[in-house]
Amino acid sequence: MTNTLPYSWYIDSDVLAQERERLFARTWQYAGHTGQLAEPGSFFTMRAGDVPIVVVRDREGVLRAFVNVCRHRGAEVVTGEGRCTTLQCHYHAWTYGLDGALRAAPRSDAEPGFDRSQLGLLAAQVDTWGPFIFVNAVADAPPLVDTLGALPGLIADGGLDVDSLEFHSRGSYSLDANWKVAVENYLECYHCPVAHKGFSALVDVDPEAYRLEIADGVLSQFGERRGDGAGERDCQFHLIWPALKVIVYPGPANLSLGPVWPVGPERSAGFLDYFFGPDVPDETARELIEFDDEVGREDRVLVESVQQGLRSGLIDHGRLLLDSEMLIDAFQGRVAGVLSSTS
């Protein structure tokens, strides 16, 4: 399609409710990294859409994920991250094993017919790619490999061994813009020569050199380094449905990834986890992160300006240039398809 999604979809709370339920709660979400769960009993919490999730390494070293909702009155069982021997709800001390089974419920012995075996935490799916942990709140959803599609091969073909990467740091952000505006800005470099002078000096953003590809549902951009770095690993920018960014820059072994998620119809938030090869000096890592932060600050101005324009209500939709914005077209088509589905 050449027309964009209706601009009303970027400010409407009813559309957002459908997106949260259909696009985020039912899909694989990046949760964190294996370094957070190095020892048995390690856990951390996150959200898959609006679904609270706890990810834990059990006593046998197996990764597990559960819906982080107590079967008693619905409180979130645990918060944050740390080490534990059990998962105990902070409200009434219902206590669950690291396998999710209900171990203790104070005063339940006085309750006729109370069956602990039926009141364990609901299981969620958990899987990994390299050091990256993913979860899906839907227990019978298709496997992670289906969502990752061509991505592992594309990264490996670019000369990067993800298994060798080590976590460096996390950068968080928030935006006064609908989450789709942030994703769509990420999916094109049409704006790069105008808005990202530093990036455009590093990467050849000319249309003949900057490639856009779609493979197995993965939306990808590839750019060659300019100047003395020509011939190094391409930079790669991938989007995994619905809103996970995966970024590889030229130079030393590096990869960053993180989601964008809706906070409100006109607010979004996200983070990027930065990973580097074990031999990359910390100064080099910090320089790359600062470079990426600069690009992010420039993008903030753009996406928040777009949101102001969409809010005006005077224009129904925009018009895409498919040669440069084919990934946005694919993304918007999938959003529209999911929201129009009756299933």
Which segments of the chain belong to CATH 3.90.380.10? Answer: 148-340
CB atoms within 10 A of CB 92: 14
Predicted confidence at residue 342, as pLDDT, reads: 64
d(CA 299, CA 13): 24
Amino acid at position 24, single letter = F
Phi, psi of 147 (to 5 degrees): -75, -40
CB 233 within 8 Å of CB 250: yes
Which segments of the chain belong to CATH 2.102.10.10? Answer: 28-140
CATH code matching the domain that covers 148-340, chosen among 3.90.380.10, 2.40.128.110, 3.40.50.150, 2.70.150.10: 3.90.380.10
Amino acid at position 334, single letter = R
Instruction: Dig out the tokens for 289 from the structure.
Output: 């992160």
Q: Under DSSP, is residue 28 helix (H, G, I), strand (E, B) or coil?
A: coil
CATH code matching the domain that covers 28-140, chosen among 2.40.50.140, 2.102.10.10, 3.40.50.970, 3.40.50.10190: 2.102.10.10
CB 268 within 8 Å of CB 253: no
Predicted TM-score (pTM) of this structure: 0.94
User: At a CB cut-off of 8 Å and minimum separation 6, what does 2 contact?
Assistant: 319, 320, 322, 329
pLDDT along the chain (343 residues), means of 10: 92 96 94 97 94 97 98 98 97 98 97 96 98 95 96 95 97 98 98 95 93 95 83 87 97 96 97 97 97 97 97 92 96 95 68
Predicted confidence at residue 291, as pLDDT, reads: 97
Predicted confidence at residue 69, as pLDDT, reads: 98
Instruction: Dig out the tokens for 257 from the structure.
Output: 């990834």
d(CA 153, CA 277): 18
